[in-house]
């Protein structure tokens, strides 16, 4: 094919690629890379315009002020503090569309009105209808706040198809009116004029993320523990940065950027634009098509050179174009896409567009697969923390990076490998990962890649060791082994890093959940011990009930949560005796009728005590309240009968009576076991549910001695 014809075909194809947007995903990636390079060059803040500072609802503030949602007096206090410190404008990225306490709302409205410089947020969202379908709902501040504010700004955040925020709307239609963005309204308030109703989108100049905006926890503002100089004369944006508020977005600078931080960079972009400084911009369609024609013309000229010189010239041309793109971005903020021109040069080199298309498609597929995996891992780690969940995450990671084995080596709270691990591998064989290499990697706090594997690995051609931290807390080392020694590409490394971060957070959550459960269990044990210590003649009574009752529940096929609820109910069933006077509870002889009435109150007293313990299941509460109900309705405190008595209480009732008959009490000796059995059988259908008596006697025959030994006592 003649060089001129080849150049024309390539130029036409490149123009079609640009016009159709086929290369848009790659172009976005290239632009993001250029932006990150440009961000190294720290621009000066716009001249004669205030810079921005952030007051954030961060994890520290959430822990300090735990009753979320906070009363609006909290925000009123923050506004007054910031106003007194000399903030130029206070832009609040928080939803105030629902009325709360009238006095509280009024206090906040007064603070906003007194300031005269507060800009509030508005947005719209889709809401599902009961009969199906969706309706768009506008979220505007309540009328009193809207009337008090200096302005209302939209916080709508458009997201590109790859999930990255690159633009901000200059204005949005909310409730039938055009609403400037929060950043635009803040700038308009600074300038003392209404922001222009400009159409289109603002390309956020991410280079202006440097220097980083000041971050001040809102709790420090409320408590007056901040330097007023940090906000004096600045535009203060107030919003959430804590992950639990789910206002986190991916940007060209990386994932997990809070919405209020993005609004701050948008404000800096608008301020620079107003000051006439260069901001990020991209050429239109016509200049880009003219550029591809020029590139193909140059390539056609080079086509007459020998192969080696032509290859070197094409490579030099590609390098020159990349250098030019970087220079234009740094100096003028112009985003000239290098992807299509370089693709043209590659097409001229190989004289086959199909090969280029396949390579591009493969990269797109890899990115899509990576994003899909990250989404799946996110779903897996959103489930209750468990080793099974971690195994699913490891398997997904192994699939996307073509690993032969993936392992998570867990650490102790002190940060040392403790032998716990979760493994995934496509085949059996040696254990995944070398603990010595993992420990060294953990100490160095750095990712290490071994091109020829490490000692003890399963013959891997390549191994990646990534230390995992939840904040500053070490949680383990992620080990990825591949049989191929081919280097991992950037997408795979980024996938390993992102999945590792998700796994680290999940492992730390698992550790916290385990710790909380242990604390909860020990507290229940302590309560049971306190009951036994006061009612000394029933020593170990609660523990025997817990063992036998939970085993009966297992034999009945109840699930683990129900079994645990019954175990705790058995431990706590007599906690109400704490409220019985000693002269009655410890009386050595038989009770009078009045004393019997007093003793019967212990079930309701116990229920009042334990019902205030957060996290106890209904089955546990039922054991405490109803363990003296009778199958025939003759029990107390509610006189329930038959199936109306909760199953957990019916189980504990059987074991409770057996243990009371089998042990000596101040008012009676212990009955022989054959008499106890006769009395239990006699109570079938009256005191007890018949089937549960039969079940208990089978449990007693088969596992009674072993259970009593576990409880610290032989057969009663």
Q: Per mean pLDDT, which range of 166-175, 486-495, 529-538 is the poorest?
A: 529-538
Mean pLDDT in residue range 1-5: 62
Least confident of 343-352, 530-539, 613-622: 530-539
Q: What is the pLDDT of residue 644?
A: 94
Q: What is the pLDDT of residue 356?
A: 37
pTM (predicted TM-score): 0.49
For residue 2, is pLDDT > 70?
A: no
pLDDT at 267: 94
Q: Is the pLDDT of residue 384 over 50?
A: no
Q: What angle do CA 676, 678, 682 make, to 5 degrees?
A: 115
| pLDDT tens digit sequence for 115-167 | 999 999 999 887 777 777 778 788 899 999 999 999 999 999 888 888 899 89
| Residue 387's pLDDT band (cuts 50, 70, 90) | very low
Is the model more confident about 137 or about 109?
Answer: 109
Which of 339-348, 424-433, 654-663 is the most confident on average? 654-663
Separation CA 112–CA 263 (nearest Å): 20
DSSP string covering 201-254: EEE--GGGG-SPPEEEEHHHHHHT-S-GGGTTTSEEEEEE-SGGG--EEEETTE
β-partners of residue 94 are none
pLDDT band for 626, please (50, 70, 90 cuts): very high
What whole-number distance in Å separates Cα of residue 330 and Cα of residue 43? 9
Strand 417-425 to 405-411 pairing: antiparallel
Are the CB atoms for 368 and 467 separated by under 8 Å?
no
| Alpha-helical regions (H) of 51-154 | 59-64, 72-84, 102-115, 143-148
Most confident of 157-171, 202-216, 218-232: 218-232
Name which of 306, 309, 273 is nearest 183 in CA terms. Answer: 273
Q: How far apart are CA 608 and CA 158, in angstroms?
A: 52
State the burial class of residue 487 (Cβ atoms within 10 Å of its Cβ: 0-12, 13-18, 19+): exposed
Q: What is the pLDDT of residue 243?
A: 83
Taken in order of first residue, the domains within the chain and their CATH numbers are 3-7+18-36+282-340 (no CATH), 44-274 (no CATH), 365-513 (3.30.450.40), 535-710 (1.10.3210.10)
Task: Check whether 48 has a pLDDT greater than 80.
Answer: no
pLDDT (tens digit per residue) in 633-679: 999 999 999 999 999 999 999 998 988 888 777 667 778 888 888 88
Question: What are the b/e assignments for 320-341, b being 16+ CB within 10 Å?
Answer: ebbeebbebbbeebbbbbbbbb
Q: What pLDDT, on the 0 to 100 scale, is given for residue 535?
A: 62
Q: What is the mean pLDDT of the chain?
A: 79
- Token pair for 607: 């229920």
Contacts 24+ apart (CB under 8 A), 516-522: 520/615
Nearest to 665 by CA among 590, 571, 592, 595: 590
pLDDT reading at 355 higher than 50: no
Task: Indicate the pairing of strand 235-240 with strand 177-180.
Answer: unpaired
Interior CA angle at 37 toward 467 and 183, to 5°?
95
Give the angle subtended at the CA of 482 by the CAs of 481 and 483, to the nearest 5°: 130
Percent of the chain with pLDDT over 70: 77
CB 437 within 8 A of CB 465: yes
How far is it, in rounded angstroms, from Cα 694 to Cα 713? 24
Give residue 509's pLDDT band: very low, low, confident or very high (50, 70, 90): low
pLDDT band for position 712 (cuts 50, 70, 90):
very low
Q: 486-500, 513-527, 564-578: which has the minimum mean pLDDT?
A: 513-527
pLDDT given at position 587: 76
């Amino acid at each position: 094919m003649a060089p001129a014809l080849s150049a024309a075909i390539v130029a036409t194809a490149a123009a079609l690629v640009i016009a159709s947007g086929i290369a848009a995903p790659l172009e976005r990636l290239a632009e993001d890379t250029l932006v990150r390079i440009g961000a190294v060059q720290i621009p000066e803040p716009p001249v004669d315009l205030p810079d921005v500072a952030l007051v954030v609802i961060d994890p520290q503030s959430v822990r300090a002020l735990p009753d979320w949602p906070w009363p609006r007096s909290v925000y009123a206090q923050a506004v007054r503090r910031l106003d007194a410190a000399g903030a130029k404008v206070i832009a609040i990225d928080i939803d105030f569309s629902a009325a709360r306490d009238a006095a509280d709302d009024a206090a906040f409205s007064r603070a906003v009105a007194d300031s005269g410089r507060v800009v509030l947020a508005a947005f719209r969202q889709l809401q599902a209808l009961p009969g199906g379908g969706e309706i768009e709902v506008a979220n505007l501040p309540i009328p009193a706040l809207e009337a008090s504010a200096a302005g209302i700004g939209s916080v709508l955040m458009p997201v590109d198809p790859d999930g990255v925020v690159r633009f901000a709307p200059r204005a949005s239609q909310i409730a039938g009116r055009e609403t400037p963005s929060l950043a635009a309204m803040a700038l308009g308030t600074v300038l003392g004029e209404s922001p222009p109703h400009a159409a289109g989108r603002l390309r956020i100049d991410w280079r202006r993320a440097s220097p980083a905006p000041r971050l001040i926890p809102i709790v420090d503002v409320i408590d007056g523990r901040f330097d007023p100089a940090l906000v004096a004369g600045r535009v203060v944006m107030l919003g959430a940065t804590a992950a639990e508020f789910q206002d986190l977005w991916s940007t060209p600078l990386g994932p997990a950027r809070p919405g209020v931080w993005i609004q701050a960079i948008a404000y800096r972009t608008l301020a620079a634009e107003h000051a006439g400084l260069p901001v990020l911009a991209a050429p239109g369609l016509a200049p880009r098509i003219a550029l591809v024609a020029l590139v193909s013309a140059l390539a056609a000229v080079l086509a007459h050179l020998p192969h080696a010189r032509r290859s070197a010239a094409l490579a030099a041309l590609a390098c020159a174009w990349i250098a030019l793109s970087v220079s234009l971005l740094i100096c003028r903020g112009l985003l000239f896409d290098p992807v299509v021109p370089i693709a043209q040069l590659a097409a001229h080199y190989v004289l086959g567009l199909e090969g280029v298309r396949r390579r591009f498609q493969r990269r797109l597929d890899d990115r899509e697969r990576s994003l899909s995996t990250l989404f799946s891992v996110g779903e897996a780690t959103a489930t209750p923390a468990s080793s099974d969940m971690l195994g699913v995450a490891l398997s997904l990671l192994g699939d996307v990076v073509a690993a032969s084995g993936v392992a998570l080596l867990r650490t102790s709270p002190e940060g040392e490998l403790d032998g716990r691990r979760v493994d995934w591998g496509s085949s059996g064989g040696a254990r995944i990962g070398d603990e010595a290499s993992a420990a060294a990697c953990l100490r160095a706090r750095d990712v290490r890649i071994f091109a020829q594997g490490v000692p003890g690995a399963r013959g891997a051609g390549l191994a990646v060791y990534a230390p995992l931290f939840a904040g500053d807390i070490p949680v383990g080392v992620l080990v990825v082994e591949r049989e191929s020694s081919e280097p991992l590409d950037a997408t795979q490394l980024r996938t390993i890093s992102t999945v590792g971060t998700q796994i680290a957070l999940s492992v730390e959550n698992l550790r916290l959940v385990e710790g909380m459960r242990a604390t909860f269990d020990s507290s229940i044990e302590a309560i049971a011990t306190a009951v036994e210590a006061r009612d000394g003649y029933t020593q170990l009574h609660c523990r025997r009930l817990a063992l036998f009752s939970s085993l009966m529940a297992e034999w009945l096929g109840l699930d683990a949560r129900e079994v645990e609820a019954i175990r705790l109910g058995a431990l706590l069933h007599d906690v109400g005796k704490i409220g019985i006077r000693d002269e009655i509870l410890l009386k050595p002889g038989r009770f009078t009728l009045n004393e019997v009435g007093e003793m019967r109150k212990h079930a309701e007293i116990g229920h009042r005590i334990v019902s205030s313990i957060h996290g106890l299941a209904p089955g546990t509460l039922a054991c405490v309240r109803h363990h003296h109900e009778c199958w025939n309705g003759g029990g107390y405190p509610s006189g329930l009968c038959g199936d109306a008595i909760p199953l957990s209480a019916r189980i504990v009732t059987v074991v409770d009576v057996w243990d009371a008959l089998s042990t000596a009490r101040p008012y009676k000796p212990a009955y022989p076991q054959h008499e106890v059995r006769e009395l239990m059988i006699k109570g079938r259908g009256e005191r007890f549910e018949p089937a549960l008596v039969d079940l208990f006697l089978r449990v007693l025959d088969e596992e009674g001695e072993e259970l009593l030994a576990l409880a610290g006592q032989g057969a009663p």
